[in-house]
Amino acid sequence: MALTQQLLRKIWLKLHLYLGLFAGAIFVLIGLTGSFLAFDLPIDEWLNPELMTVPIVSQNETYRPLDEIVAAGMQVLPVNGKLLSLGFPRQQGLAFDLWFEQPSSNPENMERHQIFINPYTAQVTGQRLLIDFEKIWRDPLKDFILRLHYSLGLASTGMTIVGFIGMGLLFLVLTGLILWWPKTGKYKTALTIKRNASSERFVFDLHKSVGVYGSIILLFLIMSGVYLIFPDYGRLVVNMFSPVPDPWPQLQSTLPNDKTTPINLAEVVIITDERFQGGDYRWIGFPQNERDVYQVGKREVNEVNQKMPYRCLWLDQYSGKILNIRESKTASSGEVFEQWLYPLHTGEAFGIIGQSIILVMGFVPLVLYTTGYIRWLQKRRVKNRLM
């Protein structure tokens, strides 16, 4: 029995060691970029005030009509540019951002850009490249770091790599907990850092203490990250317990015989406000062809997701008929689970407190990797002396 336990411990040690040395290095990058992304929007606005912020003349000042704002943006739209969506300001003093895409230097790939428009004057404040799908270094800092975080800057291939590394990190944390698990009556010692200890003991205690105290949040962040990378597979599991329909159904407008032009944004807002009382607009997606639809994201007052609201409306671009509705009061348990997943992953579900926790947790992989690597070197030195 004792030999079996010793053999198992050696196996867990080897597994923990090699996962830590290789997957752990990527874990450090993912953690540090995640810390930045906890406050990505305010950082982006602080770095680009000339584009994203506008003066507030009066607290009662109202926005210009949406059609006027979009028309202002279209005046500077490149000839080969294609409108995608209109992003709304999160708060007063910020600009609208009109998204469009255009071919990159490689005609087979597209770039995404933003045009920023003052909501009070409908004047363009500037524009920028947002995503170059081939050359990550051209992206703004926020999106450069975001793409490092979820794909290592390697597009869909990188996402797959990060997803599988995430699975390995689950085993890394779990094997660490198995190796840490103390004998009966020694929990206090296992959960503290010994005072006045040698440097070797301090490194060991710091590694295990940070790992144990951070393990619950780390496990959640890793599992939620893997789910967000592989949502289709995640939904297969959740569907076993509660239905989770496709969050972005492919719908079509009915093409009228008389070639009627699409409804304008003022009409889109009237229809949306009649169906969704209260809340804040986050974006309106434009039809991409003659059969496509309007997509409207209008966040509910108490919705946990600040950036991408769950509450959405799909409208026929010609008649304004509501084709699909997504809102919390009709959501299944599986859909509620998905609603919470991303805001918990980023910390925004609990406001600045949650975001601050994510900021701190992003440095935990760095501490674990550094102390684990030092501990490995210490053991190697001892082993070499004995040889």
> Tens of pLDDT along 91-149?
999 999 999 999 887 777 889 999 999 999 999 999 999 998 888 899 999 999 999 99
Give the E-state strand segments of 300-345 in sequence order.
312-316, 322-326
Q: Is the same domain home to 31 and 58?
A: no
pLDDT of residue 378: 84
Quick check: 258 pLDDT over 90? no
Q: Are residues 61 and 125 in the same domain?
A: yes
Mean pLDDT of 347-364: 95
Percent of the chain residues topping a pLDDT of 70: 98
Domain presence at residue 327? yes
Dist CA 159 CA 133 (whole Å): 13
16 has a pLDDT exceeding 80: yes
* Number of domains forming the structure of the chain: 3
Residue identified by tokens 């279209």 is: 74
One domain, residues 80 and 118: yes
Q: Would you give the end-to-end CA distance of the chain in angstroms?
A: 29
> Distance (Å, rounded) from C-alpha 211 to C-alpha 203?
12
DSSP state of 289: S
More confident residue, 369 or 199: 369
Is the separation of the CB atoms in 318 and 262 below 8 Å?
Answer: yes
SS3 of residue 60 by DSSP: coil
Which residue matches tokens 């597209």?
A: 110
The dihedral formed by the CA atoms of 54, 313, 279 and 285, expressed in degrees to the nearest 10:
-10
- Based on the fold, state whether residues 184 and 321 are members of the same structural domain: no
- Same domain, yes or no: 325 and 182: no
- pLDDT on residue 317: 95
CB of 170 closer than 8 Å to CB of 216: no
Instruction: Please check the confidence at residue 376 and state whether its pLDDT lies above 70.
Output: yes
Residues 175 and 27 in one domain: yes
Per-residue pLDDT averaged across 239-244, rounded?
93
Tokens of 204: 């060991």
* Higher-scoring residue by pLDDT: 3, 238: 238
Residue 93 is part of which domain span? 54-139
Q: How confident is the model at residue 2 (pLDDT cuts 50, 70, 90)?
A: low
Residue 113 is encoded by which pair of tokens? 């850009």
Q: Based on the domain organization, do 58 and 134 belong to the same domain?
A: yes
What are 282-335's pLDDT values in tens digits? 999 999 999 999 999 999 988 888 888 999 999 999 999 999 999 998 999 999
pTM, to two decimals: 0.90
Does 216 map to a domain?
yes
Structure tokens at 292: 């496509």
Is 105 domain-assigned? Answer: yes
Structure confidence at residue 171 (pLDDT): 92
Residues 73-95 have a mean pLDDT of 94
